[in-house]
Amino acid sequence: MEITSVVERVRHIAAVRGTASVDAVAVESALVAARELAAWTEAQHAGLVTQLSSLVSFPESTIASAAKTTLAGAAKSKERSETLAETPKLAGALADGAVTSGHIDAVTRGARHLPDADRAMFFERMDSLIEVAEAASVDQYAKRVALEVRRIQRDDGLDRLERQRRDTRLSSWVDGEGMWNFRGRFDPVTGVKLASKLDTTVEALFAAAVPDGCPTDPIEKQRFLQAHALVRLLEGVGGGRPGRSEFVVVIDADADGQPGPVAEWSIPVEIPARVVADLAGDADVHAVVVRNGVVLHAPGELDLGRATRLANRAQRRALRGLYRGCAIPGCTVAFDRCQLHHVLWWRHGGRTDLDNLIPVCTKHHAKIHHDGWIIELGANRELTLRLPDGTVRATGPPGRRAA
């Protein structure tokens, strides 16, 4: 990006910020300009870091002082500059504002998983995929980076799983309020088992009644119940069959371009096929059949009426067959990080029935409950979203197989 282009963007942003009456289109245009400026600035920062690294033995100290950041932040800046030095096309795209520092950081993280002998090939591949980076969001690009890493490693996922198992960690601390906090990182196999056990315990213990002091906010309520479920598990009072995971096999009876129904394992993380087969032998496996936004078959009770506000596992299984994640258009939060929201709110007489439930992430759940977002569902789960400013967004039936 030439200096004249930088100045033009600064003036455009200033003009929008200095105008009292401005429409959303103008603000969005200014946001794009701000993103491009930020990318250009990051490119200049990386170039300066590269220059500094050739002049001093400990550049991180100078970077931290000049940028008023930590040594860890300075180390990240240095690592980013090293990635850009290996990928000149990406460096040019960053300077032009076509990609963001998030795209560069995705490449940096990918390189960490490779031995030195394979990194040159990896950087060459990523530099050749410049058009992918320019068109994709950071999340989408990170998935493509991970794919290229796996292709270079040429393994069936078992080596990666072993690395993840070695990286498993759990830490704890007491905060200023005297509350114990825990933070853990688990390999996918352990994570699937743990999440399944927590879900089973929440349903088994709290479907009929919740503990005293349970929050009414649906997001905080789920966190509260999961915390209490973990305590009950530690006390040896759990629900369901001990030690067994649950898998959902989604059968799409209307898969476009396929000669027949398509089945897929609905697992939110990557697990080697050989390990999935072993897990399935010691798990409860349920089939959910879907077609064009409608659940044709799913085990368990799917309509609970007004008997309980909390959705059961059967309903979550069925909705997992339809949705990969949050139902709000454009949101990429995975299904397992979503809450099941009553389209017609429970407090307004809504029922805990399958056709009144939809998965939404924490952020969008708060928008619905507190910021006046209104959602409507059609017969085939066509979603209509009405925003307070009058904007209306609509989608067709959920595309389960769409990435």
β-strands 262-265, 294-297 pairing? unpaired
Average pLDDT on 193-219 reads 77
Q: Taking 90 as the threshold, does the pLDDT of residue 3 lie above it? A: yes
Sequence-separated (6 or more) residues with CB below 8 Å from residue 256: none
Residue 14 lies in a domain: yes
Q: What pLDDT score was predicted for residue 30? A: 96
Are 187 and 226 a contacting pair, CB within 8 Å? no
- The pair of three-digit structure tokens given for residue 143, joined into one six-digit string: 């998935």
Residue 105 lies in a domain: yes
pLDDT in tens, 292-350: 667 777 777 888 898 888 888 888 888 887 888 899 988 878 787 788 999 999 989 99
> What span, in angstroms and rounded, lies between the C-alpha atoms of 282 and 267?
15
The SS3 of residue 342 is strand
Tracing tokens 């990051």 back to the chain, one arrives at 42
CB atoms within 10 A of CB 314: 19
CB atoms within 10 A of CB 359: 28
Average pLDDT on 201-226 reads 78
Tracing tokens 């993380």 back to the chain, one arrives at 269
> In degrees, to the nearest 5, what angle opens at C-alpha 24 toward C-alphas 19 and 25?
100
Q: Give the bridge partners for 132, in sequence order.
A: none
- The pair of three-digit structure tokens given for residue 210, joined into one six-digit string: 């919740």
CB atoms within 10 A of CB 5: 15
Q: Taking 50 as the threshold, does the pLDDT of residue 155 lie above it? A: yes
Residue 114 lies in a domain: yes
- Counting the structural domains of the chain, the total is 1
Average pLDDT on 65-76 reads 91
The SS3 of residue 259 is coil
Residue 204 lies in a domain: no
- What is the pLDDT of the chain when averaged over all its residues? 83
Q: What pLDDT score was predicted for residue 350? A: 92
pLDDT in tens, 234-278: 887 655 544 455 666 666 666 554 544 444 545 555 555 555 555
pLDDT tier at 283 (50, 70, 90 boundaries)? Answer: low
Helices (H), 23-58: 24-53
> What span, in angstroms and rounded, lies between the C-alpha atoms of 343 and 358?
7
> What span, in angstroms and rounded, lies between the C-alpha atoms of 227 and 211?
11
Domain that holds residue 15: 3-154
Task: State the helix-helix crossing angle for 158-166 and 273-280, rounded to 10 degrees.
Answer: 70
Sequence-separated (6 or more) residues with CB below 8 Å from residue 386: 373, 374, 375, 376, 392
Are 328 and 361 a contacting pair, CB within 8 Å? yes
> What span, in angstroms and rounded, lies between the C-alpha atoms of 25 and 28?
5
CB atoms within 10 A of CB 191: 18
Residue 247 lies in a domain: no
Residue 386 lies in a domain: no
Which of 15-19, 122-126, 248-252, 342-346 has the least mean pLDDT? 248-252
Q: What pLDDT score was predicted for residue 4? A: 94
What is the DSSP track for 166-220?
HT-EEEEEE-TTS-EEEEEE--HHHHHHHHHHHHHHHHHHHSS---TT--SSHHH
